[in-house]
Amino acid sequence: GAGVSQTPSNKVTEKGKYVELRCDPISGHTALYWYRQSLGQGPEFLIYFQGTGAADDSGLPNDRFFAVRPEGSVSTLKIQRTERGDSAVYLCASSPTGTGIHGYTFGSGTRLTVV
Amino acid sequence: DAKTTQPPSMDCAEGRAANLPCNHSTISGNEYVYWYRQIHSQGPQYIIHGLKNNETNEMASLIITEDRKSSTLILPHATLRDTAVYYCIVRSDMRFGAGTRLTVKP
Protein backbone atom coordinates (compact mmCIF):
# COMPACT_ATOMS: atom_id res chain seq x y z
CA GLY A 1 0.00 0.00 0.00
CA ALA A 2 0.86 3.64 -0.17
CA GLY A 3 1.33 4.10 3.55
CA VAL A 4 1.65 2.31 6.87
CA SER A 5 -1.63 0.65 7.78
CA GLN A 6 -2.63 -0.21 11.32
CA THR A 7 -5.60 -2.29 12.34
CA PRO A 8 -7.86 -2.00 14.15
CA SER A 9 -8.04 1.76 14.44
CA ASN A 10 -9.79 1.41 17.79
CA LYS A 11 -9.86 -1.47 20.24
CA VAL A 12 -11.73 -1.67 23.52
CA THR A 13 -10.94 -4.64 25.72
CA GLU A 14 -11.56 -5.75 29.25
CA LYS A 15 -8.83 -5.81 31.85
CA GLY A 16 -7.04 -9.14 31.82
CA LYS A 17 -7.79 -9.96 28.17
CA TYR A 18 -5.30 -10.59 25.39
CA VAL A 19 -5.05 -8.26 22.39
CA GLU A 20 -3.22 -8.21 19.08
CA LEU A 21 -2.47 -5.08 17.12
CA ARG A 22 -1.43 -5.31 13.48
CA CYS A 23 0.90 -3.19 11.40
CA ASP A 24 1.31 -3.36 7.62
CA PRO A 25 4.41 -1.37 6.71
CA ILE A 26 5.18 0.23 3.38
CA SER A 27 6.13 -2.48 0.90
CA GLY A 28 9.88 -3.05 0.83
CA HIS A 29 10.62 -1.27 4.09
CA THR A 30 12.95 -3.49 6.09
CA ALA A 31 12.80 -1.52 9.33
CA LEU A 32 9.67 -1.45 11.48
CA TYR A 33 9.09 0.30 14.79
CA TRP A 34 6.43 0.18 17.46
CA TYR A 35 5.70 3.11 19.76
CA ARG A 36 2.96 3.86 22.22
CA GLN A 37 1.69 7.30 23.07
CA SER A 38 -0.25 8.40 26.11
CA LEU A 39 -2.22 11.61 26.16
CA GLY A 40 -0.02 14.68 26.23
CA GLN A 41 3.23 12.77 25.85
CA GLY A 42 5.57 12.02 23.00
CA PRO A 43 5.72 8.59 21.37
CA GLU A 44 7.44 6.04 23.64
CA PHE A 45 9.73 3.60 21.85
CA LEU A 46 8.83 -0.06 22.31
CA ILE A 47 10.65 -2.23 19.75
CA TYR A 48 12.51 -2.07 16.45
CA PHE A 49 12.64 -4.82 13.83
CA GLN A 50 15.23 -5.10 11.10
CA GLY A 51 13.76 -7.70 8.77
CA THR A 52 12.33 -10.56 10.80
CA GLY A 53 14.42 -10.04 13.90
CA ALA A 54 13.95 -7.67 16.81
CA ALA A 55 17.07 -5.51 16.70
CA ASP A 56 16.13 -3.57 19.83
CA ASP A 57 13.33 -4.54 22.22
CA SER A 58 14.59 -2.49 25.13
CA GLY A 59 11.45 -0.35 25.20
CA LEU A 60 9.01 -3.15 25.92
CA PRO A 61 7.74 -2.34 29.41
CA ASN A 62 7.41 -5.91 30.70
CA ASP A 63 6.96 -9.51 29.62
CA ARG A 64 3.26 -9.02 28.91
CA PHE A 65 4.29 -7.25 25.72
CA PHE A 66 5.60 -9.18 22.75
CA ALA A 67 5.93 -8.45 19.04
CA VAL A 68 6.63 -10.56 15.98
CA ARG A 69 7.40 -10.02 12.34
CA PRO A 70 7.71 -13.56 10.98
CA GLU A 71 8.08 -12.79 7.28
CA GLY A 72 9.74 -9.43 7.51
CA SER A 73 6.70 -7.44 6.50
CA VAL A 74 3.54 -7.43 8.66
CA SER A 75 4.11 -7.12 12.40
CA THR A 76 1.84 -7.94 15.32
CA LEU A 77 2.14 -6.43 18.77
CA LYS A 78 0.70 -8.75 21.38
CA ILE A 79 -0.32 -7.72 24.88
CA GLN A 80 -1.26 -10.34 27.45
CA ARG A 81 -3.33 -9.80 30.59
CA THR A 82 -4.06 -6.21 29.67
CA GLU A 83 -4.14 -3.57 32.37
CA ARG A 84 -5.86 -0.19 32.42
CA GLY A 85 -2.43 1.44 32.25
CA ASP A 86 -1.91 -0.12 28.83
CA SER A 87 -4.53 2.24 27.41
CA ALA A 88 -2.78 4.39 24.82
CA VAL A 89 -2.38 4.95 21.09
CA TYR A 90 -0.04 2.35 19.65
CA LEU A 91 1.87 3.70 16.66
CA CYS A 92 3.76 1.75 14.04
CA ALA A 93 6.36 3.23 11.69
CA SER A 94 8.46 1.82 8.89
CA SER A 95 11.60 2.91 7.10
CA PRO A 96 13.45 1.68 3.98
CA THR A 97 16.41 0.80 6.20
CA GLY A 98 17.40 1.21 9.80
CA THR A 99 20.08 3.73 8.98
CA GLY A 100 19.94 7.44 9.66
CA ILE A 101 19.59 8.50 6.06
CA HIS A 102 15.98 7.33 6.01
CA GLY A 103 13.24 8.64 8.24
CA TYR A 104 10.10 6.95 9.47
CA THR A 105 6.65 6.91 7.98
CA PHE A 106 4.04 6.49 10.69
CA GLY A 107 0.65 4.89 10.58
CA SER A 108 -2.40 6.51 12.14
CA GLY A 109 -2.20 4.27 15.17
CA THR A 110 -4.47 1.93 17.11
CA ARG A 111 -6.24 3.47 20.06
CA LEU A 112 -6.38 0.81 22.77
CA THR A 113 -8.74 1.28 25.69
CA VAL A 114 -8.66 -1.19 28.55
CA VAL A 115 -11.77 -1.02 30.71
CA ASP B 1 15.60 9.09 27.76
CA ALA B 2 15.63 10.93 24.48
CA LYS B 3 18.84 12.59 23.36
CA THR B 4 17.04 15.86 22.61
CA THR B 5 15.53 18.66 24.67
CA GLN B 6 12.97 21.16 23.45
CA PRO B 7 10.89 23.92 25.06
CA PRO B 8 7.44 22.59 25.98
CA SER B 9 5.48 25.28 24.18
CA MET B 10 5.73 28.29 21.88
CA ASP B 11 3.36 30.76 20.30
CA CYS B 12 3.69 32.37 16.90
CA ALA B 13 1.61 34.95 15.04
CA GLU B 14 0.08 33.84 11.78
CA GLY B 15 2.24 34.84 8.81
CA ARG B 16 5.35 35.20 10.93
CA ALA B 17 8.31 32.85 11.02
CA ALA B 18 8.23 30.17 13.69
CA ASN B 19 11.67 29.21 15.02
CA LEU B 20 11.69 26.02 17.06
CA PRO B 21 14.92 25.18 18.88
CA CYS B 22 16.30 21.77 19.82
CA ASN B 23 19.32 20.82 21.88
CA HIS B 24 21.14 17.58 21.12
CA SER B 25 24.46 18.12 22.84
CA THR B 26 25.39 14.41 22.99
CA ILE B 27 24.89 13.78 19.29
CA SER B 28 27.71 11.91 17.61
CA GLY B 29 29.27 12.67 14.26
CA ASN B 30 27.23 10.36 12.05
CA GLU B 31 23.82 10.81 13.63
CA TYR B 32 21.08 12.56 11.71
CA VAL B 33 18.64 15.03 13.25
CA TYR B 34 15.02 14.56 12.20
CA TRP B 35 12.00 16.74 12.75
CA TYR B 36 8.43 15.50 12.86
CA ARG B 37 5.16 17.11 13.75
CA GLN B 38 1.97 15.66 15.10
CA ILE B 39 -1.43 17.15 14.68
CA HIS B 40 -4.03 15.97 17.15
CA SER B 41 -5.10 12.34 16.69
CA GLN B 42 -2.77 11.71 13.76
CA GLY B 43 0.56 9.87 13.55
CA PRO B 44 3.73 11.98 13.45
CA GLN B 45 4.50 13.46 10.03
CA TYR B 46 8.02 13.84 8.64
CA ILE B 47 9.16 17.43 8.07
CA ILE B 48 12.88 17.53 7.37
CA HIS B 49 16.22 16.05 8.39
CA GLY B 50 19.89 16.94 8.28
CA LEU B 51 23.38 15.83 9.24
CA LYS B 52 25.73 18.82 9.09
CA ASN B 53 24.51 21.23 6.44
CA ASN B 54 21.47 23.44 6.60
CA GLU B 55 18.52 22.01 4.71
CA THR B 56 15.40 23.44 3.10
CA ASN B 57 12.33 21.85 1.59
CA GLU B 58 8.82 22.92 0.76
CA MET B 59 7.74 22.67 4.39
CA ALA B 60 10.58 24.16 6.39
CA SER B 61 14.23 24.99 6.83
CA LEU B 62 16.63 23.32 9.23
CA ILE B 63 19.59 25.18 10.66
CA ILE B 64 22.22 23.04 12.40
CA THR B 65 24.96 24.71 14.42
CA GLU B 66 28.54 24.10 13.40
CA ASP B 67 29.22 22.01 16.52
CA ARG B 68 25.96 20.10 15.82
CA LYS B 69 24.85 20.41 19.41
CA SER B 70 21.67 22.22 18.52
CA SER B 71 19.36 22.93 15.62
CA THR B 72 16.43 25.16 14.75
CA LEU B 73 13.42 24.33 12.64
CA ILE B 74 12.08 27.34 10.78
CA LEU B 75 8.56 27.57 9.40
CA PRO B 76 8.95 30.74 7.31
CA HIS B 77 5.31 31.85 7.19
CA ALA B 78 3.34 30.03 9.85
CA THR B 79 -0.34 29.33 9.23
CA LEU B 80 -3.05 28.22 11.63
CA ARG B 81 -2.69 24.70 10.22
CA ASP B 82 0.88 24.58 11.50
CA THR B 83 -0.44 24.37 15.06
CA ALA B 84 0.92 21.01 16.23
CA VAL B 85 3.47 19.32 18.47
CA TYR B 86 6.93 19.39 16.89
CA TYR B 87 9.47 16.70 17.71
CA CYS B 88 13.19 16.77 17.17
CA ILE B 89 14.91 13.38 17.37
CA VAL B 90 18.35 11.92 16.88
CA ARG B 91 17.59 9.23 14.35
CA SER B 92 19.70 6.41 15.73
CA ASP B 93 18.22 6.91 19.21
CA MET B 94 14.67 6.20 18.03
CA ARG B 95 13.32 7.96 21.11
CA PHE B 96 11.04 10.97 21.14
CA GLY B 97 10.91 13.56 23.88
CA ALA B 98 7.81 15.54 24.76
CA GLY B 99 8.29 17.94 21.84
CA THR B 100 7.26 21.59 21.51
CA ARG B 101 3.60 22.47 21.25
CA LEU B 102 3.45 25.30 18.71
CA THR B 103 0.32 27.42 18.68
CA VAL B 104 -0.12 29.73 15.71
CA LYS B 105 -2.43 32.59 16.58
CA PRO B 106 -4.43 34.78 14.19
Counting one residue from chain A and one from chain B, the pairs whose CB atoms sit within 8 A come to 49
For chain B, the average pLDDT equals 94
The beta strands (E) that lie in B1-106 are given as: 9-13, 18-23, 33-38, 45-50, 55-56, 61-64, 70-75, 84-90, 100-105
Question: What's residue A29's pLDDT?
Answer: 95
pLDDT of residue B1: 67
* Contact across the interface for A42 and B92, Cβ inside 8 Å: no
pLDDT tens, residue by residue, A5-41: 999 999 999 999 999 999 999 999 999 999 999 998 9
Q: Do B44 and A45 touch (CB under 8 A)?
A: no
pLDDT of A49 strictly over 90: yes
Q: Along chain B (106 residues), what's the average pLDDT of each consecutive run of 10 residues? A: 90 97 91 93 92 94 96 97 96 88 97
Q: Per the CB < 8 Å rule, is A43 touching B91?
A: no
Q: Which residue of B has its CA nearest to A34?
A: B94
Query: What pLDDT is stored for residue B28 in this prediction?
Result: 87
pLDDT band at A97 (very low <50, low <70, confident <90, very high): confident
Give the chain B residue nearest A41 (alpha carbons): B98
Whether B55 has its CB under 8 Å from any CB of chain A: the answer is no
Measured between alpha carbons, how far is B101 from B96 in angstroms, rounded to an integer? Answer: 14
| pLDDT > 90 fraction of chain A, expressed in percent and rounded | 90
**Contact between residue A8 and residue A108 where contact means Cβ atoms under 8 Å apart:** no
Taking a C-beta distance cutoff of 8 angstroms, is the pair B18, B75 a contact?
yes
Q: Measured at the alpha carbon of residue A38, what is the angle toward residues A63 and B61, in degrees to the nearest 5?
A: 115
CB contact under 8 A, B98 and A42: yes
Q: Give the pLDDT of residue B41.
A: 78
Position A1 scores a pLDDT of: 53
Are residues B27 and B33 in contact, defined by beta-carbon separation less than 8 angstroms? Answer: yes
